[in-house]
Every structure is written in C-alpha cells, then in structure tokens.
Chain A
Amino acid sequence: MSEKLYAWLLRLYPSRFREDYGEEALRLFRDRARDERGFFPRLRLWLDLFFDLAISIPHEYLHAPQVAPLVPRRLHGFPALFVLENASPRPGALAIGGLLSLVALTSCWASLSSIRGRETPSASQFAGVPDGYKSGHSESRPAAPSAAASDASRASTQPGAFDPAQRKRIVDSAIANLKEHYVDRDAAQKMADALAAHEKRGDYDAIADPAAFAALMTQQMREVAPDRHLTFDYFQEPLPPQPSAQTAAVSPQYREAMKQQNCTFEKVELLPLNIGYFKLNSFPDPEVCRVAAMAAMTYINHADAVIFDLRDNRGGSPEMVQLIGAYRFDHPEYWYNPRENTTEQSWTRSPVPGSELADKPVFVLTSTRTSSGAEQFSYDLKMLKRATLIGETTAGAAHSGVFHRLDDHFGMGIPEVKAINPYSTNDWAETGVKPDIKLSATNALDAALKLARASREEIAAARGSYHLLLKPSSCEEAIN
C-alpha cells in the first residue's frame, strides 16, 4: 500500500526524471521501508519523503535538463505549446485537461454574467422603468386596468414584427391610459378621440417602423394638448416587467449598488486656492445616500467657490436634487419640480444648519449628457440666479410624465400633476437647459476654475460684498 502510494507520488516528477531514476527511487523507498519498521521510524520515513518531494519536485522542473532547447512543440492535432515535459501528454491527460478548461471557462462566464447582472448604471433600472424615467417620477404606475391595456400587455411586440392587430391594441391601451391618468380630463378626452379617429381612418396602416409610429403618436397627442411632458415612446430593447406596488421602496440591489459605487459621487475634493469640486454622476435616493451627500457637502463647506460637475449626471431622485440645492439658500426657496404638485414640500429646507455655501460663487458644469434630475438642478439654480452654468446645452429630458408600460416595447409618459413654473411657460423639456457660458464640455472645468479664481479676487477686493454671483458677461471677460 505504502509503496503504491509512493509510486503514485513519483508521477509528480518530470517524465525524464522518472525514466532515469524512477525505479531507483522506488527501490530506495522499499529499502527504507524494510529497514525502518515501527510507528515512529515509519512516521519519520514519510515526513522525510514529503519534505523531499516538496523540495525536489520544483527543483527538478526548474533544472531538468532539456533534450532540446525550450521551443514550442507541435503536438499532433494541437496548437504549438510550450511544454515542460519532453514526453507527449497521454490522451487521458488531454481529456482531463480539456474538461477542466471547460469547467474553468464556464465558471468565468457565469461569474461575469452575475457581475453584469449586478451592474447598476442608472437608478431607473431598479424601478422597472426605462432609463431616465425614474428620475422624473417618484414612482411608476401600472398601466390602466382596462381590457385593452391588459391585452396589449400580454402581446409581445417584437422589433420588425409590428402588425396592425398589435398596433390597434397599443392605441386602445394608450387611449385608456390617457383618459385615466392625464392631468387635464377634457384634453385627455379630446386626445383619445383624435387617436381613435386616426386609427379608424387607417392613418397608421402605412407605418411599419415602430419608432416612427411612436413619434407620430406623440405628435398627434401634442396637436391636441401642447404639452412637452406628454410622450409616447418606443423601446427597441424589451421593457422590464411592470413593477409591483411594493417596488416603490429602495431595493436591496439598489442599496448594494450605491454602496459599491459610493452613491455615484465620483469625486469630492478641494482644489488649489480653496475651490471645492464635487463630481456627482447621479442624484441618488436620499434614503440610501443622505449621509454620503451631506458628508460631501460638509467637506467643501469652507471652500471659497464651488464647482458641481454634472457633465456625466443622468438624473436620479428629485429629493436628492432638492437636498443638495438647499445648500445654496439662506432661506426656504420655492424649488420647481415639473412632476410634483406645489405643496409645502416644494420649498427647500434652507438654511442648512452650519452651511456656509449659500453665498459662495457656484459653477455648474453641463454637457449634452446632463439630463433629467441634473437638468432640474441646473435649471432651478440658473433661474434663481444661484449658479453660473458652464458647458453645453443639456439633454432636454424632463421625464415629467409618469411612465406607463403598454407592452414589451411601448410606453407612455403621462403628466398627472400640474406644477407651477414661476420662471417660464416652458421648462427644459426637449429644449434642454442653456448654459450661461457656452463651451464644449471638455473645456468647461478649466473655464470654471478660471472663473472661480477670478471670483476669489473679486471677493477679496469687495471685502465681504454679498454680490458674488458672476454675470455671464463678466465671466467671459475673465476667461478671455
């Protein structure tokens, strides 16, 4: 038994060693086993052998003489490989190796899939609504509980397979949702009648492209009610299933994702000359990220000027938008949110205790990617003259309508409230927020830094003057 075990262990040596000395090594073992009987001598023998294996096997592989220099060897039917062994692998060894490789590759694939599944670039994905919509809504409502809607939900519209029967179901579902949810009941009825008439007349018959159909539906609804927040959308990728009522709460996946991504707060730092810089790539739910947000704001609390970098910010929670916006005011200020009715919640919780940021110059960096909640932040601060916007015109995604899923590929954004916009008849829906200083997004930070430095000098010169917000004209002078 012992000899068999040692013979098996000998197979761990390179084949050349086994050929030359395998028999001798086994004989030596046999001799020692014969002479060293009893428990302790035998124990010592095995300890010696294991120690010997541990030392000599690596040594043999490192120093084994090569018959030929180490060059790739071409095995029959296999690619060229560097091999330590001179002998060709046995077929059994190749089979086991292949099996192990397959298992390893499958495990890698499975791990990657699970990682991909956990990636959470947008908060909206957790709510089962398309990208961006979550930022425009506190929740997503189920589609109208009409027969037409449930029929449409059951039908799965595949891209490229857009047939008239499905289209009819979708139009009926859209009509049912409009009547049930649109804020203006009269307008809803008129839109419903118009869509039904178009459908009856066969105005959609010639349209094979679902995206074009969606665009036409949006246009026709707005012909009746000129509301930019009203949208009819087509999604090439299948929409996630309709969320149940319970999913309004923060999901464990979202919580974990925010933990892993530091609440999407990419950078919070104090730059030279005491300029605070905060790059946030979304406005995460305060239920998870309130402490992180307050910590970030506290860190830059003593800065002489602050730069909010929203160039990669796709929006998020309106509560977080308001929470961070509140630092800019020394009194409660009306905070326009196109998706909420005006209530006492519409005023910021200002002043934020201990905050020294209310009267500091603030610069907001924008890009064409800046959307939804990030646009609300930019728009409100701009309208209240509490920030200088630098960069590109934003995406124009207000997402103010509550999203309603019609089927796997179609959905609607339907405004259910009428918010008071004290600044203008239109907000940033579809037009975007225009920056005070128009620059390419890549140059925005440099420009903001120059302006922030200039503003510090202005502060020093004014010795405590409160008029610190730079006007665009003076900003441009400072850049040039």
Chain B
Amino acid sequence: MPKRTLDPLPSAAFQILLALVGEDLHGYAIMRQVAEQTGNRIRLGPGTLYSSIRSLLENGLIEELDSQEDTGSGERRRYYRLSSTGRKLARAEAQRLAEVLRVARAKKILRGRYV
C-alpha cells in the first residue's frame, strides 16, 4: 500500500500551512481561512481537510494543541499550530512558486493587472 507523501506538497496541504501562519486555528477556521486566502476558489471539504491535517501531523509540519474552547461557539475544539518544520517547508514552497512566477513573467505568458 503506497505510503502517503507530501513531496510534492499538495495544494490543499500548502494552503493549510499558509492558513496557520500567524495563528492557531481549528478545522472549520482553517477551512474558512483557506477559502478567504484563495478568493473562495478552494473550499476544503471535511474529508480533504482532515486527511491533509493528518498527513501534516504525521510529517511533523503542524502540531495538534490540547482542546480549547472556541471563543465564538463555546464548544471544545481541536486546534492546530504550524511547526517550525512546517514553516520552513511553506517558505520553501512559496519560494519555489515565486521562482516559477519569475520564469513565467520572463516568458511573458502572464497578462493583466495581476502581473
């Protein structure tokens, strides 16, 4: 049975790492944060979200905190925090994408005001 791998880093996993930069979040908050940072383009379903979270936990890229009470609903939820390894990997991935972007710009294949 193939072992799950994060190399290359799947898009969903990278978005989760980015969502956790700066603050610890529970599952639903991660989902909303990812939706927000991708302009609602990626809405992680529960299966994909928790499957990715488990991979990230197994690889030590995020950590699970002790259950905390959600400030909004008052329910106890599992929170996740970016680990230093996760931060490094997210940075490396961002740099890789930046390099891709640089090449794309040089090749002038990007158009419009987003360039």
Contact = CB atoms under 8 A, between A and B. Distances in A.
Interface string A10-33: 000100010011001111110110
B60 interface: no
Contacts, number: 68
B45 A48 contact: yes
Given A24-B27, A27-B77, A57 B47 contact: yes
B50 A25 contact: yes
A28 B52 CA distance: 15
Contacts of B7: none
A32 B27 CA distance: 11
A24 B78 contact: yes
Contact of B46 (A52, A63, A64): A52
A28 B48 contact: no
B87 interface: no
A336 to B, nearest CB: 73
Nearest to B77: A27
A55 interface: yes
B47 A25 contact: yes
A114 interface: no
A415 B54 CA distance: 87
Contacts of B75: 27
Interface residues of A, number: 28
B1 A70 contact: yes
Interface in B35-68: 43-51, 53-54, 58
Interface residues of B, number: 22
A59 B28 CA distance: 21
B32 to A, nearest CB: 9
A65 B45 CA distance: 20
Contact of A63 (B3, B28, B47, B77): B3
A62 interface: yes
Contact of B45 (A17, A56, A66): A56
B112 interface: no
Contacts of B28: 27-28, 31-32
Given A21-B54, A27-B77, A49 B45 contact: yes
A474 B16 CA distance: 91
Given A24-B78, A70-B1, A60 B51 contact: yes
Interface in B5-30: 27-28
Given A48-B43, A56-B45, A65-B58, A24 B50 contact: yes
A40 interface: no
Given A28-B27, A31-B28, A13 B47 contact: yes
A51 interface: yes
A28 B49 contact: yes
Given A25-B50, A27-B28, A28-B27, A63 B45 contact: no
A17 B51 contact: yes
A13 B2 CA distance: 18
12 contacts: A25-B49, A25-B50, A28-B28, A53-B47, A55-B45, A55-B47, A56-B45, A56-B48, A62-B1, A63-B2, A64-B1, A65-B54
Interface of B: 1-4, 27-28, 31, 43-51, 53-54, 58, 75, 77-78
Given A28-B46, A49-B45, A52-B46, 19 more contacts: A20-B50, A21-B50, A25-B46, A25-B50, A27-B27, A28-B49, A32-B31, A48-B43, A49-B46, A52-B47, A53-B45, A53-B47, A56-B48, A59-B51, A60-B51, A62-B2, A65-B4, A65-B54, A70-B1
Interface of A: 13, 17, 20-21, 24-29, 31-32, 48-49, 51-53, 55-57, 59-60, 62-66, 70
